[in-house]
Amino acid sequence: MADSNNKINFCTSSPGKIILFGEHSVVYGKLAVAASISNRTTATFKEVEGDVFTLNLPKLGYCETFELANLQSKLDENIPLKKKISKQQTDLGTVGLVDIDALLELSGKDVNFNASVEQSDAIRKALHAFFFLFRGILGTTLVNVPPSTLEIDSELELGAGTGSSASFCVTLAAAFIQLLKQRTPPGYRVSKHEYRNFTFDGSLESFSEKEKIIISCWALHGEKINHGKPSGLDNSVCTHGAILQMNVRGFLKHEGGFQCMDLNIKLSVLLINSGVSRDTKSLVSKVRSLKARHEGVINLILNSMEGIAEKGVLTLQKLSDLEKAKASDKDIRSLYTVLEELFDLNHGLLSTLQVSHEKLEHIRAITAGFGLHTKLTGAGGGGYAIALIPPDYPVNVLPECINQLEANNYQTRQIYLGGEGVNVKQLS
Ligand SMILES: Nc1ncnc2c1ncn2[C@@H]1O[C@H](COP(=O)(O)OP(=O)(O)OP(=O)(O)O)[C@@H](O)[C@H]1O
Ligand SMILES: C[C@@](O)(CCO)CC(=O)[O-]
């Protein structure tokens, strides 16, 4: 919203995620189940006086000021389109017609723009994503970026398996879409004249389903900077929230192959940080090369993982039905036993794919001592583990388990799954 001085001030935000079933196997088109978590990434956009744009990334200790005119000039360059596609065939919403590899290459060169000091790999990747989304989302439009500050902060730990990079890309893409909406009066042309016209249908207070699909699509491609070839699971959960099932082969017949599950359950897990940092891209390539060496064997494992995810979906749905019907504790317990066993089976197979870590196994052993079932979540190799906390778990035992984990330097946090996806709030 423009404040009393007609300035644009808003924040966009999106959740992190955990994967319940199907990390890694989802990369090969198998079914996976993931959920949003309450920790979020927030982008705060504030229009200021002057002729500069300041980008602040406190999680990386990075803050840089750009001359607005120099930044704006990047939007004058053409967006690379796929062969045989003309500008008149494209608009903001036709992400699929953009030559993403060429745009990634172009925006990769922007990383050194203004760089006055040596940048860490994490900063370079974040800047690459920033310029990629900046050019991609705003490059076909008539927007003029006002003098402003953009701060992107997060409650998520970076590089630990809770989707910080997807949440970063979703939040940033949402901020650019929101900027565009606020700089374009209703009914006005959004696209540059050579491009097909594009109109927004959402209000300034929320994102429409169409806008969410555009945000998620751009975030998926931005994720390529961190992940190489992401499956689309992380950006979908961070955009749409809730607990969702996804299969990139698209048999679920929903846009992007995902479906938000309509569940009437309050699922809780203990997030446990192994404290071991790792890199999603290299873990995904590790599995890929194992698969290349033992194709037949690894395919069987991936199929088993899909079987686990399918059973996970059915069990969650049954659980939701039983909760609605106020079924007996005994019936509900038997379904939690199934989920616990699926956690163990899924972790075992991930470990066979060589993406566990001795600290993750240690965490599993500690939690098993307290009757909890735990699996790695995300790419593995370190990062977070999740322990399922069933509703009948004795309340006095959980603090004991947490004490034992923390005595071993594993930080913990109990969370509930599901919850709102990407959103926008006006600031006064
Ligand atoms: N709030 C943020 N500010 C700046 N950069 C961020 C932020 N969040 C994520 N990033 C970028 O994302 C990178 C982390 O991505 P990575 O895929 O390794 O971890 P993750 O997304 O937390 O894990 P996973 O994909 O397994 O869930 C960081 O190095 C940084 O470049
Ligand atoms: C390991 C992986 O399955 C999940 C990372 O959060 C990779 C992906 O889905 O792109």
- Give mean pLDDT in consecutive 10-residue pieces for the chain, a chain of 428 residues: 71 98 94 95 97 97 94 93 93 93 96 79 96 97 95 94 95 97 85 91 88 94 89 93 78 61 91 94 95 98 97 95 87 96 98 98 98 97 97 96 98 94 95
- Cβ atoms of residues 115 and 70 within 8 Å: no
Q: Which ligand does the CA of 283 lie closest to?
A: 2
Ligand 1, residue 153: give the atom nearest the CA.
1
Q: How far apart are CA 238 and CA 235, in angstroms?
A: 5
Q: Note whether ipTM > 0.85 here.
A: yes
Instruction: Specify the residue with its C-alpha closest to ligand 1, atom 20.
Output: 159
**How remote is the CA of residue 52 from the centroid of ligand 1, in Å?**
26
CB of 168 sitting under 6 A from ligand 1 = yes
What is the pLDDT at residue 11?
98
Residues present in the chain in total: 428
Atom of ligand 1 nearest to the CA of 162: 27
Task: Report residue 225 CA to chain centroid gap.
Answer: 13
Task: Report the alpha-carbon distance of residue 3 to residue 146 in Å, rounded.
Answer: 14
Q: What is the pLDDT of residue 119?
A: 85
What CA–CA distance (Å, rounded) separates 104 from 320? Answer: 42
Among residues 331, 221, 223, 367, the alpha carbon closest in space to that of 284 is found at 223
What SS3 class is residue 222? helix
Residue 309, H or E segment? helix 295-324
From residue 72, how far is each of 107, 131, 202, 350 by CA, in Å? 14, 11, 26, 46
pLDDT for residue 256: 58
The answer to whether the CB of 57 is under 6 A from ligand 1 is: yes
Which CB contacts under 8 angstroms, 24+ apart, belong to 88-92?
88/194, 88/195, 88/196, 89/196, 90/140, 90/195, 90/196, 91/140, 91/190, 91/191, 91/195, 91/196, 91/197, 91/198, 92/137, 92/140, 92/141, 92/180, 92/190, 92/191, 92/198, 92/214
CA–CA gap between residue 22 and residue 380 (Å, rounded): 12
Candidates 364, 357, 367, 361; CA nearest to 402 is 367
| Ligand 1 pocket, residue 160 CB under 6 Å | yes
Q: Which residues of 25-84 form beta strands (DSSP E)?
A: 32-47, 52-57, 62-67
Q: Which residues contact 260 (CB under 8 A, 6 or more apart)?
A: 240, 241, 242, 243, 244
Q: What are phi and psi of 328, to 5 degrees?
A: -70, 155
Tell me which residue of 366, 103, 370 sits closest to 217, measured CA to CA. 103
Do residues 45 and 8 touch, judged by C-beta distance below 8 A? yes
Amino acid at 230: P
What's the distance, CA 212 to chain centroid? 13
Q: Which residues line ligand 2 (CB under 6 A)?
A: 19, 23-24, 26-27, 163, 227, 230-231, 233-234, 280, 284, 378-379
Specify which residues 412 forms β-bridges with.
272
